[in-house]
Structure 1
């Protein structure tokens, strides 16, 4: 033990020296930082040279963008290292305080030298940090310049005018070259077969391809049958719910397109792997396979969504006739687009073609595309129901449809017209933009519908099959609120996904989209705080997950812990509510931490808002604080019978702003918490639930008062809900005007039995008095008339006049 104790200092010194040896010195770290900054500056110089020497193509723009983004990542890392080295230096300088001014005592030599050393190091690090900022700004300028130049290049290509198809010479040259291309394409299958004959390659590759194709078809057919039989558009279901119809459309679209698309892909892959496709025939094979895949996926999904043969399963607001018509024209359009896709991929070796061929392809191909798009602009698809005079049948969400239709008509008309005037690239862009936009919007709407249906299904109210709502005790209003916010989050996510794709479809260069996305991801600054979209998204997700976790923990606490204690309902509710508030606060802090906000800035903003809160929201804050006081002091609790402000009832819920009171007429009264704290409140069940019931009774004069007392006590003692202690008793209250007034005072064991005990005692007293001949008198009044003769005379005259009136129906 002594020897080990002696070795401890030596071991500590060894570990310290080893740590110092492993860690790089300050000078070495600075040299590495300078070298990295120099390398990144050199990379930007090389990029400037590349941009000056060669034209900016898509490939070059992508390479430069990747290189600049790597440079920015390296710069961010270097700047973080500089800040990490600069932080302790600034801390030491702050601890030393400001340097002494003239006339003040000078610092000691050691302190002055240490201050100079720290200031020199801080200046050096701050200079490197500014150098990194300069290089970063230069890199951002390169990205911006790259984006602008690429946008200008694309715009110039779109507006580049070629030969007009109105010239006969263009048709002659174009048709001649197109005939040569078509002849070469027609000869490709022959060359393909000659290059892949069995005598040359043997039968093994063919057997491999055939076996793989059979396995793919068998597995696809099995999966299709199983899924459609259970989740598909079944004929035996006449009125499916909308979530069920959405799921069935997804299953049918997926399974019907799975077999041909997967088979085409597997066949193409195996043909390449086995060498059965020569290089010169590869574009033709790839074009045929992509055409099959495109037709299968788009056509079958459109058919599943429209459901023309089973209109009850349609998820779009079209009747059966319009759905069948839309399905027919969609099938024609998709077939032509599939054929065009095959031709475009197969003619890849012949590009770039002459201007005359490109113009003819643009005019004929895009003109046929516009022709197949025309039926979708007819009134049969865009007609709306006429609203009635009362306003029924009017859908405010369809007011934009005429404007959208007009925009599509102009776009479709521009497809052949732009080609006719010589703008082939513009014609291609408009045609592909219209078609791909329709496919993109349809896919996003289908994804949105499926996502909302899924959210509404899992967060359905507890009484309607919602398992999560049942587990977390979420009310119907809560389920609707959760569905709304999740739907909003889904829409935001689909918007972020669809907007770049939409820009890409309409020819916006990838460089421009990437630059815009990078700028968007950097976020926006408000009051010195930077909000980034990704951080906001994760903050919302973490906040929601934390709330759900605390909600589940709160339910476990109520069911597994508090329910087994001897605490009353109000105490259990207070503990549960406190856990809910703590959970909300923790979830909020986690969300703030995820966004990376500086809490000092939040404190400043909160201080500025406190003035506005003091004037404009003082009632809200007052109610909130009062709610906390009610939960802590518990003058009232859930289940209490209270009387406040002229309202009487049972406390059902205490929230942070108000308390929900249910009257005995089943009316809900929302009482602000501040009124429960500041105003007098009668709480019948604050300390105990025992309540006194008072029954007033009057008996006739001459009744046996002791018998009355005995009968009243017997009625009280016979009731099961009347306590024996405190014992019931009878009070002889007064000699009334018409009766002898008594009061029966009993104690019911619970306030819930107040009404029933009162009613039961009334019945019992009435029965006992009848059996013992005890009379309950009516009120008695003595009337004194001052002039009885005059009253008699008036009555006689009135009777006489009444007898002189002829009876109804007489001839007089």
Structure 2
């Protein structure tokens, strides 16, 4: 079947996409185009080759200057120029090995002395080598000049074809709203239909064709019956089967199975149409026009059923089917209707274009025939745009009320579709049929490709869920995001083809991409990038393997502590990554010498703007080498206390006792005072202060405290704990228990247990633990008796007023505790001297 004539847009898009994919797969690592089976250097072009090239170039220049050649002629001429350009590109590498050898000899000789004092033999050898180098480099230079000429001619042809394409879009023709064109268009359509019927009647009147039809009648009847079943019933069967799979249980495996089954909604009807076309061809009655239209029906049906399949996912019947828009079920049902209308219009558009190509109808007939299809497509797209806008304006998922990025994209897409849905028919109505047709149907093609892309992205996510079994984390996983991004990038060339880019334009873009670009004296190509990535990934993997071997096999057998082992592993990782990057850059042939000036200029900025980062980096290296602290140490720095969990080159992460992470810059650990409670070992001292009332037996108290300290299992007995009578305090006799713990990290537990035991032993031995007490002296207690309310019994700290005074001493507290509100005039003696004030008399 001539599918390229049936639906040239879709076929050309798929073919171009396939060509681009094969070009990517066939990309050589060195980025240069090499001929198959070419083991040595490419041969240099001879004089006859350049003579032939001169004729081709002159012919191309004449065609471009006259601008009379057809598009087919320009395409053929361009193909010849592309072939010559490839030959010149290959010829630029001629004699490369010999040139490298001669250049190496010249480098060995070095530059000529400035004073000219050089032995004659060396001067002669340098002169011969220079002449030989010029001779060897001459073919490459000639090929380079020819390459530039061929490339310029190709660009001129591309510019000419693009100008023609733009001119065709802007060409104004007869308006389809002019009634004078309607009779002619109807007559052309009627004539075409009569011609199809006439071909059938002519073939039926032919005895030989009629005999062939009768002989094949059983086969034809079976094919027609099978086609009717597949076309009319096949899609419904598959749709019900796919929905029944989804309705049983929600799982990724069931969704994948339903997706595979749903492809039958396209396959079975299209097979039915192909069978129907085969039945028509087998009958021998259709004729050439009829067979062409029958083949076109297959392509048109493919687009129709493909559009319906997309609509089943964009406007699904079941919520489990896929891409749910945030619109009502009624609007989803309406969306499926408009999608079916778009598919039908697209199929009729394909058939109309095929008929126009066959009959060669004039501009008036084309305008009248295609304008209704453009209008119906525009109205349907306008309704679909409304659904997209409603989805974009739906309630946002974010708590702050901001729309998500996807909602903003959908909203912008809906507005763009609405604009083009109105602009396309408007342009076609005034005579710009090509422009209106392009805007309307290209927007339809773009929506279908975008819908297909979203379905493929969901397919990637469901496959990931099948392999991982974790649906909750699938949306946050990196691999599905990368695959979805790769699918998006892969569809960009197809979008470009839809909107008017030629396959040759994409081929040129791909050729330039493969050729790479220059940064100073450094040439970077995709091959260099791939080599860099592969070498770096290999070096990174080897570094991780070496770290794993050191962590699990080698370092545990040494005498290094855990902190030292972590320092060695971290340092090994940094060195390995640095070496991997350096080797990858060298292997890829990237010359960084041209960046030396830029690096020197940036060093000034590093010295000023990045000095904090550099300081932290150097401090991190010092921490890893000197190891004043290690992972797992209990440290205190800047008022923060906790365990060191990780040490990186910029900062250190400390986990506090509140289970919060504190990120401390490494410079603070180097320049500030740091207390390391567990440096080297876990042994540490515990001090527990205890106060007893005056009059207690101090020897007995010391003995009790000594017993309490010695009975703790974490207290070391060598050196033994001690009890110190520290001072005669203002309220108590002060003692301290000083004990060495075998695990200082348990200091709070030991301290708590000691407090419990001290309280128990003091209660048993009738030893009192005092507390601070104060007396309040009132200057005029007779005023209290005149108060209208009884005295309160709650105590507050004495407050100073202008006419009040309180006196405090160390005698035991009386049971009278007053607030300022209990005093009628607020008077109180706060300093005990009876003058009613807080100062001295």
Interval containing the TM-score (normalised by the shorter chain): 0.7 to 0.9
In the alignment, structure 2 segments of 5+ residues that lack a partner are 1-37, 791-841
CA distance in 1, matches of 2:414, 2:546: 52
Following TM superposition, by how much is the alpha carbon of 1:704 offset from its aligned partner in structure 2, in angstroms? 5.1
> Residue 798 of structure 1 aligns to a residue in which SS?
coil
Cα distance, 1:736–1:366 mapped onto 2, change above 3 Å: closer
CA distance in 1, matches of 2:211, 2:336: 40
Residue 137, structure 1, aligned to residue 119, structure 2:
no
Look up the match of 2:767: 775
CA-to-aligned-CA distance 1:241-296 (integer Å, 9 cap, x gap):
xx999979955754543433466568879998999997654422322222222222
TM, length-normalised to structure 1: 0.77
User: After alignment, is 503-512 or 33-42 more displaced?
Assistant: 33-42
Following TM superposition, by how much is the alpha carbon of 1:687 offset from its aligned partner in structure 2, in angstroms? 0.8
Look up the match of 2:159: 148
Look up the match of 2:360: 352
Look up the match of 1:585: 578
User: After alignment, is 30-39 or 93-102 more displaced?
Assistant: 30-39
Look up the match of 2:784: 802
The 5 A counterparts of 1:179-198 are 179-186=190-197, 197=212
CA distance in 2, matches of 1:782, 1:422: 105
CA-to-aligned-CA distance 1:316-336 (integer Å, 9 cap, x gap):
232322222211111122122
Following TM superposition, by how much is the alpha carbon of 1:735 offset from its aligned partner in structure 2, in angstroms? 5.1
Look up the match of 1:362: 370
Residue 722, structure 1, aligned to residue 721, structure 2:
no
Residue 297, structure 1, aligned to residue 309, structure 2:
no
CA distance in 2, matches of 1:585, 1:122: 39
Look up the match of 1:661: 654
> Residue 697 of structure 1 aligns to a residue in which SS?
strand
1:671 pairs with one of 642, 651, 664: 664
Cα distance, 1:127–1:446 mapped onto 2, change above 3 Å: same
CA-to-aligned-CA distance 1:136-188 (integer Å, 9 cap, x gap):
11111012101111012222333344444455553333322221212233566
The 5 A counterparts of 1:71-90 are 71-90=84-103
CA distance in 1, matches of 2:272, 2:531: 40
Residue 682, structure 1, aligned to residue 675, structure 2:
yes
8 Å CA contact 2:102, 2:132 repeated in 1: yes
8 Å CA contact 1:738, 1:777 repeated in 2: no
> Residue 507 of structure 1 aligns to a residue in which SS?
coil
8 Å CA contact 1:387, 1:394 repeated in 2: no
> Residue 85 of structure 1 aligns to a residue in which SS?
helix
Residue 330, structure 1, aligned to residue 339, structure 2:
yes
1:175 pairs with one of 166, 186, 206: 186
1:375 pairs with one of 376, 379, 383: 383
8 Å CA contact 2:305, 2:343 repeated in 1: no
The 5 A counterparts of 1:99-178 are 99-100=112-113, 104-108=116-120, 110-165=121-176, 170-178=181-189
> Residue 361 of structure 2 aligns to a residue in which SS?
coil
CA distance in 2, matches of 1:169, 1:655: 82
CA-to-aligned-CA distance 1:742-793 (integer Å, 9 cap, x gap):
332222222321111111122122223333x16244268899xxxxxxx9xx
- Aligned pair count reads 747
Look up the match of 1:339: 348
CA distance in 2, matches of 1:417, 1:782: 97
> Residue 671 of structure 1 aligns to a residue in which SS?
strand
Following TM superposition, by how much is the alpha carbon of 1:598 offset from its aligned partner in structure 2, in angstroms? 1.3
8 Å CA contact 2:304, 2:347 repeated in 1: yes
Cα distance, 1:290–1:683 mapped onto 2, change above 3 Å: same
Following TM superposition, by how much is the alpha carbon of 1:126 offset from its aligned partner in structure 2, in angstroms? 3.5
Following TM superposition, by how much is the alpha carbon of 1:802 offset from its aligned partner in structure 2, in angstroms? 1.7
TM, length-normalised to structure 2: 0.74
2:109 pairs with one of 96, 105, 109: 96
2:644 pairs with one of 634, 640, 651: 651
8 Å CA contact 2:171, 2:434 repeated in 1: yes
Residue 571, structure 1, aligned to residue 582, structure 2:
no
Residue 618, structure 1, aligned to residue 611, structure 2:
yes
Look up the match of 2:32: none
Following TM superposition, by how much is the alpha carbon of 1:464 offset from its aligned partner in structure 2, in angstroms? 5.8
CA-to-aligned-CA distance 1:431-474 (integer Å, 9 cap, x gap):
3222212223333344455557777998999x9667xxxxxxxx
CA distance in 1, matches of 2:661, 2:173: 76
Give the superposed CA RMSD.
4.9
8 Å CA contact 2:391, 2:411 repeated in 1: no
8 Å CA contact 2:231, 2:270 repeated in 1: no
CA distance in 2, matches of 1:543, 1:751: 45
CA distance in 2, matches of 1:444, 1:653: 43
2:444 pairs with one of 417, 435, 438: 435
Following TM superposition, by how much is the alpha carbon of 1:115 offset from its aligned partner in structure 2, in angstroms? 1.7
Following TM superposition, by how much is the alpha carbon of 1:623 offset from its aligned partner in structure 2, in angstroms? 0.5
